[in-house]
Amino acid sequence: MTIFIQSLDYNFWDLIIDGPNLPTTTNESGETISKSRTRYNDEDRKRVQMNAKAKHIIICAINSNDFNRVSSCILAKEMWDRLEVTYEGTNQVKEAKISMLVHKYEMFTMFENEDIKTILTRPTQTTSPGRATS
């Protein structure tokens, strides 16, 4: 999906990764709050429209289960972050997966009576045919 979004418009990709910084204003007590739509200027409207387009691109590229996960998100960045955690996991999950794959690689050996063709296809299979005994 990354390449798809980048190919449409790299500005959308930047918006999804960095966030759109939707229009805000500072109130009398110094708090930053969302700007009301009636107070948007042309630049504000452009940012809001870019976010809406980015959200549309993401929604068009996902299935109904993923749509249910992200439909409540206001920002395209929120959608992307939620999908990223769903499919890639957090940093700890990524590190655990990498560690497991490195371990599997280190333990990878040729089984008895296994030929080269079989051993080269084994990493892409879910079961190891070389372990089956008759």
Structural domains of the chain, count: 2
Asked if residue 64 and residue 8 are part of one domain, the reply reads: yes
Domain range holding 111?
92-131
Asked if residue 112 and residue 79 are part of one domain, the reply reads: no
Give residue 131's pLDDT band: very low, low, confident or very high (50, 70, 90).
very low
Asked if residue 99 and residue 83 are part of one domain, the reply reads: no
Asked if residue 54 and residue 25 are part of one domain, the reply reads: yes
Q: What is the DSSP string of the chain?
A: -HHHHHHH-HHHHHHHHH-----EEE-TTS-EEEPPGGG--HHHHHHHHHHHHHHHHHHHTS-HHHHHHHTT-SSHHHHHHHHHHHHH--HHHHHHHHHHHHHHHHT--PPTT--HHHHHHGGGSSS-GGG---
Threshold 0.85, pTM exceeds: no
How far is the C-alpha of 69 from the C-alpha of 24, rounded, in Å? 26
* pLDDT of the residue at 128: 44
Q: What is the pLDDT of residues 21-78, one digit of tens each?
A: 788 888 888 888 888 889 999 999 998 999 999 999 999 999 999 999 999 999 999 9
Mean pLDDT of 76-83: 92
Q: What is the pLDDT of residues 104-117, one digit of tens each?
A: 888 788 888 888 88
Asked if residue 111 and residue 54 are part of one domain, the reply reads: no
How far is the C-alpha of 101 from the C-alpha of 28, rounded, in Å? 55
Asked if residue 72 and residue 8 are part of one domain, the reply reads: yes
Asked if residue 80 and residue 68 are part of one domain, the reply reads: yes
